[in-house]
Structure 1
Amino acid sequence: MLFSFLSRSATARSRAHPVCYARLTQGLLAGLVALIGLNAGAQTLPPEVEALLARAKVPREAFAAVVVDAAPALNGKAAPLLSYRAGNAMNPASVMKLVTTYAGLELLGPAYTWTTPVYADGPIADGVLNGNLVIQGGGDPKLVMERLWLLLRRVQGLGIKTISGDIVLDRSAFAASTQNPGDFDGEALRPYNVQPDALLVNYKSVVMTFVPNPGNGSASIRYDPPLAGVQMQASVPLSAGSNGRSTLGDCGDYRAQLQPDLADPLRLAFAGSYPVACGEKSWAIAYPDPARYVGRAIAGLWREMGGTLDGRVREGATPSGLKPAFEMESPSLAEVIRDINKFSNNVMAQQLFLTLSLQRPGGASNEASREAVRGWWLARFGAQNGGADVPVLDNGSGLSRLERVTPQGLARMLQTAYVSGAMPELMASLPITGVDGTLKRSRSQVSQGWAHLKSGTLRDATALAGYVHTPSGRRLVVVGIINHPNAPAARPALEALVDWAVKEGSR
């Protein structure tokens, strides 16, 4: 419904994987191919792009773009079709996820998985664990409700029905963060603002499903996961449409009509009603007390599954020398980046970003991951454009006012990726225009089904970047970024740029 600690260290995994810094230099030539002429080519914007920028009241100086062949060395077409202010560092919004996911594919490998070890710290007899159950987080980005259920089912498979001690949560793999979920835009209950966690469960979110029952005049509410110690209103009264009868067109803003009171972490309540015309709907919110979410979710689900906990849920360290009873393994990185890019999942991107520095002492941190990505970039691409092309990262998700990258730097990375072994996984992770992910509702008529692109939008930034396929068989890299208070209104200009690339690249 929404979107372990390693049994061997991240260092051991990187040694086992064939990609390492010594071999990264082998791909340097592919990256340097793109340097030829990136600042050459057309400096005049396509008329349709310029017209749409003007309609959105966005000046040309707020726009930067590159359209260039994905593999110029293969067809001898090194000069870009378009290069407009391509050397300017811009805020790419969620398009920065391209850097994080490609770095992850190269540094960790597409088969990389996260593991969550579970320990029984005490003997098991007659269905009772006489001691503590320890769950050690390793940064798994997709420990969602279903997989948490499987984890606890495996605990029961050990013969444990009652835990006489505590459930201990070890979250030390990631360094502690002082950031508040509401720091970015004041919307702390929005799931996109959830902060990363070494033991990230169900994106620290609660999914509320409303199921109308006209027979008794109410809608039942189901909460996933169940949260221990939280009062959750079981139902709300139904309301009809404006004419006294419900129609499918009467749903309206059902969230406002519910009059929610969701700020109290110990009580989720609604003072309003639910329109019967809405049918069944689900609404996800970030839990207002994220520090205690994981403990409440695990305790609540354990009890719902028939388990008993005599102690409490608390944070703590894994006892030294204790061997795990089992390990829960995540989907592969190749699968995870599909969720990150197709649906622009911020917290999953941040989990991956932090994973890039898991081997550092003291736990993974944004600072250490920035160093890791910068070192990878310099080894792979060098410090072109006077170093301006090296991306400036904050948390790796693009949900930041600080992150910057130049269009030509991003284009060079995408060109290098196109001729690398990671190309199939990276391209398959990108939304297809008019088909799926964040671009399913794309209004583009020309490029529908012809482009794999990552989109990004903040209140003052919007961007598109990725690969465009033309009917002639030509493959292009397209990067377009707008930084301006009216940037979201200028999104059609970016779509026009992609359409132009399809047509121009077919000539």
Structure 2
Amino acid sequence: MPAVTVARFPFPHPSRALCAIALCLAAGAHAQQPQPLPAEVDAALARAKLPRDAVTMLVADADGARAPRLAWRTQVPVNPASIMKLVTTYAALDLLGAAYTWNTPVYVEGSIANGVLNGNLYIKGQGDPKLVIERMWLLLRHVQGLGITSVSGDIVIDRSAFENTVESDPAAFDGEPLRPYNASPDALLVNFKSVNMRFAPDRGGQVAHVSYEPPLASVAMPATVPLAPGECGDWRSALRTDFSDINRIRFNGGFPAACGEKSWAVAYGDPRTYNLRALGGMWAEMGGRVGGQMREGRVPAGLKPAFEFESPPLAEVVRDINKYSNNVMAQQVFLTLGVTQKGRGNFEASRSVLGQWWRDRIGTGEAPPVFDNGSGRSRDERISAAALGKMLQVAWRSPVMPELVGSLPALGVDGTLRKRTLRSGGAAHLKTGTLRDASGIAGYVHGASGRRYVLVAIANAENAGAARAAFDALVDWTAQDN
């Protein structure tokens, strides 16, 4: 009887197959388990009485070449506070380019003779985020350079580039209407709608001289305030300032002589009329006159600009936004994306632009962010650490990486991180974020080994601010990678 050949198939022994399946299941279960937090970070959270499930943390190579060193609750959408400015500023750099500028056109209607414009002067705002007092003075000086010292008609400002729906009650967010960070965006945003008051003690006269930038037309502003004895302390409260009357600033207290010179920036109580008052006050201080009135309106169709006043480039604006966490500048940039990409100056258009940009540029692998106004001054904006980390990795490989990284506060050097340093002496560029119940940091850390890391750490809790020590410990841990 011929021999029977038994075919051998490439299947493992049943017992080996069972072992392999068990190992795979074990590996899968292990992969799904959250990585333990570094001991020093865990200890800092415990001291702060912050539960681990109140934070999300990610540390990964900036180039994305390896698995993350740490991934803790990275898929959970959280309120990032001002860290959301990273998305807005990177999207703007990517879509508009680092050299993008805003133009503020100025129109002359009528003839000019003997220093008089026989007609109206129009200034059309187009979203310039940095039309601060020094630059507004230059714009008006340029008007005078046309031979105009008096306008027989009206000075008209055109704010139509941004829709009125972007305006909000400055007290609505946190009940602090006089804080400049609560200013609403504006197509013609003059000096962030704020007044800077400077106090200079004069011991001989027993008063402090008060100067205002800019001066506001039709607002009574006292030139002096009495000096007060005692330590400097809470000098703002000692002034007992009364801003209840939009036509007058009152000081019912005194300025402590021990303080030396001090300055205080406050938002004007009637933001709707601020631009008109600021322009009117500055024009008068420069010797200019208006025969008609300061008012809002539209530039007449067909009228050509006499000149266009150019803003600093976007790269410089982004640096101001991220270094100093400027909310209204971030919203100006956010709205500009709607204007430039969809021709509409409202938040809805900008949210649509950012959503499409995210899908095209960052991808759909992670849940997309929830956008509101692009500044992080919001209770509704959301993003996960995984999504933000991926964006930071994409940004690291992009042509505008130097501009984005250079815009972030450098640890222990400048911006919102000027007073924070690492025990390890490492280096990092990180954006901070703080709200009543949200805080965090995100950006890039330089490891001792020479590797660059993306770091995201965000806390959402009633005492979120207490997470600062844990975040500092995480940055230290990230930098000590050798």
Give the TM-score normalised by the residue count of structure 1: 0.87
Q: Which residue of 1 aligns with 2:365?
A: 384
CA apart distance, 1:495: 1.1
CA apart distance, 1:129: 0.4
Matched, 1:150 2:143: no
CA apart distance, 1:48: 1.3
CA contact (8 A) 2:239 2:252 kept: yes
Pick one of 184, 190, 207 that aligns with 1:218: 207
CA contact (8 A) 1:40 1:80 kept: no
1:278-310 Cα shifts (integer Å, max 9, x gaps): 111100000010000000000100000001111
Q: Which residue of 2 aligns with 1:491?
A: 468
CA apart distance, 1:441: 1.2
Check 1:109–1:316 CA distance in 2 against 1; reply closer, same or farther (3 A cut).
same
Check 1:194–1:135 CA distance in 2 against 1; reply closer, same or farther (3 A cut).
same
Aligned residue runs from structure 1 range 160-239, under 5 A: 160-177=148-165, 178-239=167-228
CA apart distance, 1:50: 1.2
CA contact (8 A) 2:370 2:380 kept: yes
Pick one of 87, 91, 96 that aligns with 1:99: 87
Task: Tell me which amino acid in the other structure corresponds to 2:430.
Answer: L
CA contact (8 A) 1:93 1:400 kept: yes
CA contact (8 A) 1:40 1:83 kept: no
SS of corresponding position for 1:482: strand
Q: Which residue of 1 aligns with 2:302?
A: 321
SS of corresponding position for 1:96: helix
Check 1:361–1:457 CA distance in 2 against 1; reply closer, same or farther (3 A cut).
closer
Pick one of 403, 412, 419 that aligns with 1:441: 419
Q: Which residue of 1 aligns with 2:25?
A: none
Q: Which residue of 2 aligns with 1:256?
A: 237
Q: Which residue of 2 aligns with 1:123?
A: 111
Q: Which residue of 2 aligns with 1:16?
A: none
Aligned residue runs from structure 1 range 76-87, under 5 A: 78-87=66-75
| Residues 485-494 or 41-50, more deviating | 41-50
1:293-347 Cα shifts (integer Å, max 9, x gaps): 0000001000000011111111111111111111110000000001000000000
Within 2, Cα distance between the matches of 1:261 and 1:350? Answer: 29
1:380-415 Cα shifts (integer Å, max 9, x gaps): 122224xx2x11110000000000000010000001
Structure 2 segments unaligned to the other structure (5+ residues): 1-30
CA contact (8 A) 1:41 1:81 kept: no
CA apart distance, 1:41: 9.4
Structure 1 segments unaligned to the other structure (5+ residues): 1-38, 242-249
CA apart distance, 1:265: 1.2
Q: Which residue of 2 aligns with 1:404?
A: 382
CA apart distance, 1:491: 1.2
Within 2, Cα distance between the matches of 1:220 and 1:393? Answer: 45
Aligned residue runs from structure 1 range 9-28, under 5 A: none
SS of corresponding position for 1:421: coil
Pick one of 346, 349, 359 that aligns with 1:368: 349
Matched, 1:340 2:321: yes
Task: Tell me which amino acid in the other structure corresponds to 1:90.
Answer: V
Q: Which residue of 1 aligns with 2:26?
A: none
Matched, 1:479 2:460: no
CA contact (8 A) 2:99 2:314 kept: yes
Within 1, Cα distance between the matches of 2:298 and 2:342? Answer: 15
CA contact (8 A) 1:230 1:267 kept: yes
Within 2, Cα distance between the matches of 1:170 and 1:362? Answer: 17
Task: Tell me which amino acid in the other structure corresponds to 2:118.
Answer: N
CA contact (8 A) 1:67 1:478 kept: yes
Within 2, Cα distance between the matches of 1:324 and 1:338? Answer: 30
Within 2, Cα distance between the matches of 1:418 and 1:255? Answer: 43
Within 2, Cα distance between the matches of 1:126 and 1:314? Answer: 24
1:244-291 Cα shifts (integer Å, max 9, x gaps): xxxxxx211100000110132111110101111111110000001000
CA apart distance, 1:53: 1.2
CA contact (8 A) 2:184 2:328 kept: yes
Within 2, Cα distance between the matches of 1:145 and 1:257? Answer: 28
Aligned residue runs from structure 1 range 304-319, under 5 A: 304-319=285-300
Within 1, Cα distance between the matches of 2:377 and 2:293? Answer: 35
Pick one of 101, 123, 137 that aligns with 1:113: 101
Pick one of 61, 72, 87 that aligns with 1:69: 61
Check 1:82–1:362 CA distance in 2 against 1; reply closer, same or farther (3 A cut).
closer
CA apart distance, 1:80: 0.5
CA apart distance, 1:239: 1.6
Within 1, Cα distance between the matches of 2:94 and 2:246? Answer: 41
CA apart distance, 1:40: 7.4
Within 1, Cα distance between the matches of 2:32 and 2:404? Answer: 27
Q: Which residue of 1 aligns with 2:263?
A: 282
1:169-200 Cα shifts (integer Å, max 9, x gaps): 10000011252111101101001100000000
CA contact (8 A) 1:42 1:80 kept: no
CA apart distance, 1:362: 7.0
Task: Tell me which amino acid in the other structure corresponds to 1:58.
Answer: L
CA contact (8 A) 2:38 2:474 kept: yes
CA apart distance, 1:42: 6.5
Within 2, Cα distance between the matches of 1:392 and 1:361? Answer: 19
Pick one of 385, 399, 411 that aligns with 1:421: 399
Task: Tell me which amino acid in the other structure corresponds to 1:342.
Answer: K
CA contact (8 A) 1:340 1:346 kept: yes
SS of corresponding position for 1:66: strand
CA contact (8 A) 2:341 2:353 kept: no
1:60-81 Cα shifts (integer Å, max 9, x gaps): 01110110000134xxxx1110
Task: Tell me which amino acid in the other structure corresponds to 1:413.
Answer: M
Q: How many residues align?
A: 451
Within 1, Cα distance between the matches of 2:244 and 2:393? Answer: 46
Pick one of 431, 439, 458 that aligns with 1:462: 439
Within 1, Cα distance between the matches of 2:396 and 2:34? Answer: 23
Within 1, Cα distance between the matches of 2:425 and 2:151? Answer: 57
Check 1:426–1:157 CA distance in 2 against 1; reply closer, same or farther (3 A cut).
same
CA contact (8 A) 2:342 2:349 kept: no
